[in-house]
Amino acid sequence: MSDDRSSQVQKSWLERITQAFAHEPKSRQELLEVLREAHDNKLLDTEALNIVEGAIQVADLQVRDIMIPRSQIISVKAGQTPREFLPAIIEAAHSRYPVVGEHLDEVLGVLLAKDLLPLILEQHADSFDLRPLLRPATFVPESKRLNVLLREFRANRNHMAIVIDEYGGVAGLVTIEDVLEQIVGDIEDEHDVDEENFIKALPSGDFIVKALTPVEDFNEFFAADFSEDEFDTVGGVVMSAFGHLPKRNETTELGGFRFRVLNADSRRIHLLRLTPLRD
């Protein structure tokens, strides 16, 4: 009898989901409510629900909501020698870099790190000319919708775009990974910390910290004194300091540290970059 009842409940929810997609919902909120109820009844797993919610959210977000701001762009000047620009590239460990002229608003193109491999064989690397290696830069306005940008990325096989403001100046940059992370969540990259460790030191003196790091462990590692009674994780401490669920690249200063959000979704913070503040 219980199996029959369970089957009827499952059928009922499947029918509601099918109906929601077969007939245009009155609102996105109604659609999300049906999906969340299906999740509560174990017809959708958490990962699938998060992906659907992320895909719906992307249509409401603009490039300005997720872009890496101008102040945090790591660029290469066209006139620099490899000896001058390679240390920054090695530390950042990204795959693409804007190449600029005299200032950041003069973007000449995009340099792929893999195109620098010939430098290893160059005997006179300091005279190496970057310009022949540059790929054309793609420019997008801050107001472009993420779903439109993702479609353009796929169609043009681009992975990075320079974001410009209303005056034509560089406001930031955005990558295809930034867009995809809004849908599927954290994508492992050079910032990620392995499963065993919650804290990773960077050559710059900063640290990558998982938001799930226990406050007790954080305090011990950094000789900090955050409340272990009020919060269980560093993510909870940081979210309390913000007073809201922060988006990527939002920063706050707390207890002698600057915290920058590297990854977060609609529910919680995932990854932080920590900079110790010096007096």
* Whether residue 273 has pLDDT greater than 70: yes
Residue at 55 is within a domain:
no
Ramachandran category for residue 42: left, alpha or beta (phi over 0 → left; psi -120 to 50 → alpha): left
Residues 79 and 148 in one domain: yes
Residue at 52 is within a domain:
no
Mean pLDDT within 22-28: 61
Residue at 206 is within a domain:
yes
> Which SS3 state, helix, strand or coil, does residue 123 take?
coil
For the chain, give the mean pLDDT. 80
Residue 126 banded pLDDT, cuts 50, 70, 90: low
Boundaries of domain holding 26: 2-44
Distance, in Å, from the CA atom of 182 to the CA atom of 61, rounded to the nearest integer, reads 9
Distance, in Å, from the CA atom of 141 to the CA atom of 85, rounded to the nearest integer, reads 28
* Whether residue 270 has pLDDT greater than 60: yes
**Cα dihedral sign, 232-233-235-241:** positive
Residue where a domain stops, chosen among 117, 150, 184: 184
Q: How many domains does the chain have?
A: 3
pTM for this model (two decimals): 0.57
Element (H, E) at 275: strand 269-276
Residues 178 and 210 in one domain: no
Residues 180 and 203 in one domain: no
**50: CB partners within 8 A, 6+ apart:** 184, 185, 265
Residues 180 and 206 in one domain: no
Give the pLDDT confidence of 54-95 residue by residue, as tens digits. Answer: 777 777 788 888 888 888 888 999 888 888 888 888 877 788
Residue 248 banded pLDDT, cuts 50, 70, 90: confident
Distance, in Å, from the CA atom of 141 to the CA atom of 243, rounded to the nearest integer, reads 30
Residue at 189 is within a domain:
no
CA distances to 37, 47, 66, 181, 186 from 50, rounded to whole Å, are: 13, 5, 18, 11, 12
Residue at 53 is within a domain:
no
Residues 35 and 68 in one domain: no
Give yes or no for a contact between 262 and 275, defined as CB atoms under 8 angstroms apart.
Answer: no
Task: Specify the CATH number for the domain of residue 272.
Answer: 3.30.465.10
* Whether residue 190 has pLDDT greater than 50: no
Residues 178 and 68 in one domain: yes
